[in-house]
Amino acid sequence: MRSLVFTVLSLGLALAAPALAGEQAKPATATTISANQAVRERLDFSDQKSFEAARRGFIAALPNGEVKDESGRVVWSHRPYEFLREEDAPDSVNPSLWRQARLNAIHGLFKVTDGIYQIRGMDLSNMTIVEGETGLIIIDPLLTPATAKAGLELYLKHRPAKPVVAVMYTHSHADHFAGVKGIVDQQAVDEGRVRIYAPVGFLEHAVSENVIAGNAMTRRAAYMYGTALPKNEQGHVDTGLGKGLSMGPRTLIPPTDIVTENGIQVIDGVEIDFHLATGSEAPAEMMMYFPAQRVLNTAEVTSQQLHNVYTLRGAEVRDASLWSRYIDEVLASYGPRTDILIAQHHWPVWSQAEARHFLAVQRDLYKYIHDQTVRLMNHGYRPGEIAERIELPKSLASEWAARGYYGTLKHNSRAVYQKYLGWYDANPANLDPLPPVETARKSIEYMGGIDAVLKRAREDFEAGNYRWVASVMSQAVFAEPDNQAARDLAADAMEQLGYQAESGPWRDVYLSAAQDLRRTSPPPSGSSTGSGDLLQALETGMIFDVFAVRLNGPKAEGKRIVLNWQFSDTGENIRTNLQNATLTWMEGRAENADADIALSRSTLNDILLGKSSFPEAIQSGRIEIVEGKREKLFELLTLLDTFEPGFPLVEPMPAS
């Protein structure tokens, strides 16, 4: 059952073990230095308005620059980022990304206006605190309880003590809700002392986004967020969205109040005008306007950068056109009434004129990418061709808030293409290509063999053709995965691409790949403590969906197993049917099932969390085979695959 546990626990992105100290990292080449110098010359780095905006309202920084959990373990720290104090970017970091990294390093408690404060830079996201008549309204309690608690404690050191009376989850991504038990407990919610507000669809999407493909997403997220990289000038510097992910458990208290339509609600004496943005940056999301303070909170629908239409960790493609429309709606509705714009990442926009300008830039950014991709697509261009051709107009490209620190023009344009036309580019040669290893071997053979390929690739590396070298060396590694010369040259090329990347995730994926190719990565690991909250929120049927995607079809060939599951604590009855090497489920009971299994949902949760097992639960009486054959249950369990968390990304899968 370990792999099912891992899949469910991946609802919260786990941090890797402490990174190795950058073994074998190499300096920037002359080509990279020149490319980064061109960025310095192209952009106006004398513009300090963002730094002024990010520091405005500062009250206090995080004591000692770090957060510890109850066991004394450091779960969040700014200390490794001391190197960002230098104003000038080193040769190994794109100067534009360096600027964003320095802005995201500004952290602590900030006053937005009377009655509204923010905790910024103490986790990947922001926590906003609104002072009500009797207590505090907390918007987005960060990713882990320790950072949320530390943020609230920092606020309470500088403001009158009031209890938390309401929590709001702006959307369904874990960094905006999973720290909730650091500021409130379930009992307070059950007793009605705290209300929890969320947009329609929140719970479904919060617990389901990473469940089915959780193992793959978690592995890819380790690359995207650079969790195994050292934090230094040749490693991880920033995600673009924030410094990184805090360590620790992911918690959840289900909402008590669902926002289903736009309009004003009064919460603890505070008027809040909700504006839903369903299917934009997140499948369930809401913005809010505070009329008394003339403050608009755009959640994560806007940010001080280009966001992801498609995220590199893997997720459903987002609708860039709809995303733009929501921004246009709040610009029209609240723009003339907004004196300050805040969001749940980054720093505020501090005047009405600047807020309206900012919203227009963000609106047009996503619409431009959508429309121009579709235009080129309808001319017949393919994803890679579109990614090379698409450029922002100068009016957008000159805006810092439109730079690709998180999303990029290239991968977002590919996402728009994917949304409309999918993976197939209509060239029949790409309809059924050879698998990667066979393609690589034939390609290297056609090129004259591995030695000839390495010789020519080294020449291309010296010429600064890193994209090509990374591509052809990937073929070499797939053809001969143990060829360290090929691995090292692939790593060298990807490292230089990382040094040049303006996007934090692009930098992290390139540098993470270089580590793996050089075999210097620490083993994958992460924290799963406290994930029972997320597991408990799963519908029972979804657990059987996870069983279904673990079913090994070839091993299940010719088998037929029908089981009835009776859950004593939820009153549910579920039938699972294994037939045609496919596992399906539905509510109800089957006649003449192979076995009737009685258990509680809490028992199943404990098994999934590794606290128990099916044999242990049967032996202790927590699971009872009411009728039928016990061995049929165990036969089904033997057909379920185990997913390894550290599967390879830049080399072939090992032979099975």
DSSP 30-77: HHHHHHHHHHHHHS-TT--HHHHHHHTTEEEPPGGGEEE-TTS-EEEE
pLDDT at 380: 98
- The pair of structure tokens assigned to 348 is 């505020």
pLDDT at 214: 87
- The pair of structure tokens assigned to 349 is 């926009």
Residue 89: what are its φ and ψ, rounded to 5°? Answer: -70, 140
All structural domains of the chain: 2-419 (3.60.15.30), 433-518 (1.25.40.880), 538-638 (3.30.1050.10)
Residue 214: what are its φ and ψ, rounded to 5°? Answer: -60, -40
Closest CA to 123 of 101, 150, 103: 150
CA atoms of 168 and 344, how far apart (whole Å): 12
Closest CA to 532 of 181, 219, 205, 258: 181
- The pair of structure tokens assigned to 457 is 């690739």
Residue 445: what are its φ and ψ, rounded to 5°? Answer: -60, -45
> 323 near 282, Cβ under 8 Å?
no
pLDDT at 3: 37
Contacts of 48 (CB under 8 A, 6+ apart): none
Taking CA atoms, 486 is separated from 57, 238, 461, 482, 518, in Å, by: 52, 29, 12, 8, 10
Burial of 431 (0-12, 13-18, 19+ CB in 10 A): exposed
CA atoms of 132 and 505, how far apart (whole Å): 38
pLDDT mean by block of 10 residues, the chain; 656 residues: 38 41 80 98 97 98 94 96 97 98 98 98 98 98 98 98 98 97 97 98 88 90 96 98 95 97 98 98 98 98 98 95 98 98 98 98 98 98 98 97 98 98 96 97 97 98 98 98 97 98 98 96 56 85 94 97 97 98 97 97 92 94 96 97 93 87
pLDDT at 19: 43
DSSP 96-112: HHHHHHHHHT--EEEEE
- The pair of structure tokens assigned to 10 is 């991946």
> 121 near 131, Cβ under 8 Å?
no
pLDDT at 534: 85
CA atoms of 656 and 642, how far apart (whole Å): 13
pLDDT at 16: 41
Residue 414 identity: R
Q: What is the CA radius of gyration of the chain?
A: 26
Dihedral sign (CA 255, 259, 260, 266): positive
CA atoms of 426 and 220, how far apart (whole Å): 28
Which residue shows structure tokens 């309470």? 156
> 545 near 212, Cβ under 8 Å?
yes
